[in-house]
Amino acid sequence: MTALVRDPMRDPTPLAPRPGRRPPAAGAASLALRPVLDAPRRPARVIAVFPSAVYLEPRGGPEPRVIAVVSSDAVRLPNAVVVVATCRERPFRAVREGGDAWVGDGRVETEGLETRVRRWWEPSPALGAVPPAVLARGVRALEAALRDAGEASRGGLAGHPDPVRLADRCAAGDLAGTVEAAERIVGLGPGLTPSGDDILSGLLLSLRLLGGALRAGGHGTGRGGGRAEWMADWLGAAVTADAGTRTTALAATLLHCAASGAAGAEVAAVLRAVAGHEPAAPAVRRLLAAGHTSGADLAAGVLAGCRAALALAPDRARAGAPARPRKVPV
């Protein structure tokens, strides 16, 4: 596995205007990117190109450090600008990996691609107030959908002990044990976003968003929100502290997004299903179709986080909820 890295020895030069250049394409950007795209224009570099996505890394600045420009039918990551073109239309055919780019002033520019942000989309799904009984039903529906998916739900770390320990320690409210297990899987596994990071992203999102939904319904207590949100705060700080040196640039950015509650569209749909707002099976199928193992790994993390959020709710709020298993499989 090769990490996505910048070349600090070479700065991009401004792109020369070309006669007859097409006007900028319209794009819809995640609100997670607003601090980056609303800032003054600054140089970046194209770090990866695929038929359905281009990844750029601006020089310096805050997270998100990687911007994804994706086709309208691609997986919608929380750091994505979506263009009005499908993968079949090959919108990124002229973009070169390693090429110079610019981001800011509401635009993303590189040779062969110029996109102006015309609208924004919210990467944090609105779940409302979720009672524990509703969450318990949602967890059972998610478990059933993953069982029905069979081999498609098998992630890149299937059989590895640390994801199981991570889920178990998190559901037990053991912060030290959770952080210890999490730090062992940062950057671990195959893929542009390693499996360990996808599991952690799913876990963080469930803790943050469903913990907030339980608290909104009066079922979370404690400074800064419920116990699940408290766990998300500390776990997120631990895994993002040195993610830039331990995993790929894209995975590090997605961990930062997850720690703040910014989810991709496919994960957000699963969380809405768990919260009782839509059927679980179609949402799970869409998530499992993402990437080679990313969808399955994210689903495993989401399930572990949902179980933990339910287990960490006060006992009086969990009346009628299923007992937490002694070992939480992922």
- Whole-number pLDDT of residue 73: 96
Q: Which residues pair with 114 in a beta bridge?
A: 109
Find how far residue 134's CA is from the centre of its chain.
24
Spell out the per-residue pLDDT of the chain, length 330, in tens: 333 333 333 333 444 444 445 677 899 999 999 999 999 999 999 999 999 999 999 988 788 999 999 999 999 999 999 999 999 999 999 999 999 999 999 999 998 899 999 999 999 999 999 999 999 999 999 999 999 999 999 999 999 999 999 999 999 999 999 999 999 999 999 778 999 999 999 999 999 999 999 987 665 544 334 899 999 999 999 999 999 999 999 999 999 999 999 999 999 999 999 999 999 999 999 999 999 999 999 999 999 999 999 999 875 444 444 444 434 344
- Whole-number pLDDT of residue 325: 41
- Distance between CA atoms of 298 and 94, rounded to whole angstroms? 31
Q: Which residues pair with 49 in a beta bridge?
A: 54
If you count them, how many residues does the chain have?
330
Tell me if residue 265 falls in helix, strand or coil.
helix
- Whole-number pLDDT of residue 17: 46
Eight-state DSSP code of residue 89: G
Q: Which helix (H) or strand (E) holds 206?
A: helix 195-216
Burial readout 127-154 (b: 16 or more C-beta within 10 A, e: otherwise): beebbbebbbbbbebbbebbeebeeebb
- Distance between CA atoms of 189 and 297, rounded to whole angstroms? 10
- Whole-number pLDDT of residue 24: 79
Contacts of 144 (CB under 8 A, 6+ apart): 280
Tell me if residue 316 falls in helix, strand or coil.
helix
Using an 8 Å Cβ cutoff, are 184 and 238 in contact? no
Nearest to 311 by CA among 321, 298, 301: 321
pLDDT in tens, 41-83: 999 999 999 999 999 999 887 889 999 999 999 999 999 999 9
